Chain A
Amino acid sequence: MTVNTAHEASGTTLSEQSALGAHAPRTQRTGRSLPFNDELHLEAHRWLVDEAYLLDEQDYDEWLSRIADDMHYLMPVRVTTALGAGYSTSPGMAHMDENKYSLSRRVARFATEHAWTEDPPSRLRHYVTNVRTFRTEKADEIIAESAVLLFRSRGDVGEAATVSAGREDLLRRTATGWQLARRTIMLDEAVIRMQNLAIFL
Chain B
Amino acid sequence: MTDQTSVIQDVQRGMIPAHIYNDKEIFELEKERLFGRSWLFVAHESEVPEAGDYVVRRVLEDSFIISRDEKGEIRALFNMCLHRGMQVCRAEMGNASHFRCPYHGWSYRNDGRIVGLPFHKEAYGGEEGFKKKGQTLLPAPSLGIYNGLIFISLDPDAEPLEDFLGDFKFYMDYYTKQSADGIELRGPQRWRVKANWKIGAENFAGDMYHTPQTHTSVVEIGLFREPKAEKRKDGTTYWAGNGGGTTYKLPEGSLEDRLRYVGYPDEMIGRMKEQWTQQQLDVVGKDGFMVSAASLFPNMSFVHNWPRVEEGSDEVLPFISIRMWQPISENETEVLSWFAVDKNASEEYKALSYKAYLMCFGSGGMFEQDDVENWVSLTNTAAGSMARRLLLNGRMGLLEDGQNVVEPLTAKEYSGPGSTRIGYSEYNQRELLFRWADHLERPVQAAAQLHVGIDPVQAGAVAGGDAAPSVGSAATVPAAMMSQEA
Instruction: Kindly state whether residue B359 has any CB partner on chain A within 8 Å.
Output: yes
Given the complex, which residues of B lie within 8 Å of A79, measured CB to CB? 92-93
Size of the chain A interface, CB-CB below 8 angstroms: 40
Question: In angstroms, how far is the closest chain B Cβ from the Cβ of A61?
Answer: 14
B320-377: which have CB < 8 Å to A?
Answer: 334, 338-339, 350-351, 354-355, 358-359, 362-366, 368-370, 372-374, 376
Question: In angstroms, how far is the closest chain B Cβ from the Cβ of A26?
Answer: 18
**Beyond A92-B186, A112-B217, A195-B194, is A101–B364 a contact (Cβ under 8 Å)?**
no
Instruction: Kindly state whether residue B214 has any CB partner on chain A within 8 Å.
Output: yes
| Interchain CA distance A109-B223 in the complex, whole Å | 10
Given the complex, which residues of A lie within 8 Å of B193, measured CB to CB? 195-196
B91 touches A191 (CB 8 A): no
Instruction: Kindly state whether residue B192 has any CB partner on chain A within 8 Å.
Output: yes
**Beyond A79-B93, A81-B91, A102-B355, is A115–B380 a contact (Cβ under 8 Å)?**
no
Name the CB-closest residue of A to B332: A193
B221 touches A95 (CB 8 A): no
Given the complex, which residues of A lie within 8 Å of B217, measured CB to CB? 109, 112, 114-116
Given the complex, which residues of A lie within 8 Å of B188, measured CB to CB? 77, 90, 93
Size of the chain B interface, CB-CB below 8 angstroms: 49
Interface string of A81-100 (1 = CB under 8 A from B): 11001000011111111100
Question: In angstroms, how far is the closest chain B Cβ from the Cβ of A171?
Answer: 23
Question: In angstroms, how far is the closest chain B Cβ from the Cβ of A95?
Answer: 5
Binding site for B on A (CB under 8 A): 19-20, 75, 77, 79-82, 85, 90-98, 101-102, 105-106, 108-109, 112, 114-117, 158-159, 190-198
17 additional A-B residue pairs with CB within 8 Å, beyond A93-B186, A102-B358, A191-B190: A77-B189, A77-B190, A80-B92, A82-B96, A92-B186, A93-B187, A94-B358, A109-B220, A112-B216, A115-B369, A116-B214, A117-B370, A158-B376, A191-B192, A196-B369, A197-B369, A198-B369
Query: Can you list 21 pairs linking A and B with CB atoms under 8 Å apart?
Result: A19-B350, A19-B351, A20-B358, A75-B364, A81-B91, A81-B92, A81-B94, A85-B91, A85-B94, A102-B309, A108-B221, A109-B217, A112-B216, A116-B373, A117-B373, A159-B194, A190-B190, A192-B189, A195-B191, A196-B363, A196-B364
